Structure 1
């Protein structure tokens, strides 16, 4: 029935602020930008920023977007901190990999993920 993921939609309350975060902090390429809808390329997965009137900054729960770091999670943690990202805890170790949780400017849950070492 389903054939891949076309776009992940993320609700935002402030489009300019959200685009700046995904472009400048996460270094994603902006493909289109408008007041109600903007798209960014996350390595072949399109992230759509959906500027809805009833969107509110989230404080808990919901979907999580996991990003693959360019370098080690430790190096990327320092980069995220230097760019003002809202880090939500420590790097955690699991049998299935390592994660570092953080939030975008709109309160959406994001994380860096690296698979376990072979």
Structure 2
């Protein structure tokens, strides 16, 4: 069902402060930036710095593991829903791609991500 991890999202309140911490303090490369969003290369793992999906899983704090589905985002969301997984906000569209947010069995936020075409 999943290819692997696409990105780990770190929710931030101040994007400039976060970029300074991950870039200057930790010495990691900021690879992409767009307004209140940035990507950091952590030895091949992408860490995304941005706010949470406002209509997503509705929780505070903590990172969000984002997986890349093997099939289309719609097919994967449908398959999860058939297994009883709730996807409260459905699929949301953004300039940087499409996401579907849900909870794992322990209440942690998880997303599916599909890059823009």
Q: TM-score, normalised by structure 2?
A: 0.49
Point out the structure with the larger strand share.
2
Q: TM-score, normalised by structure 1?
A: 0.49
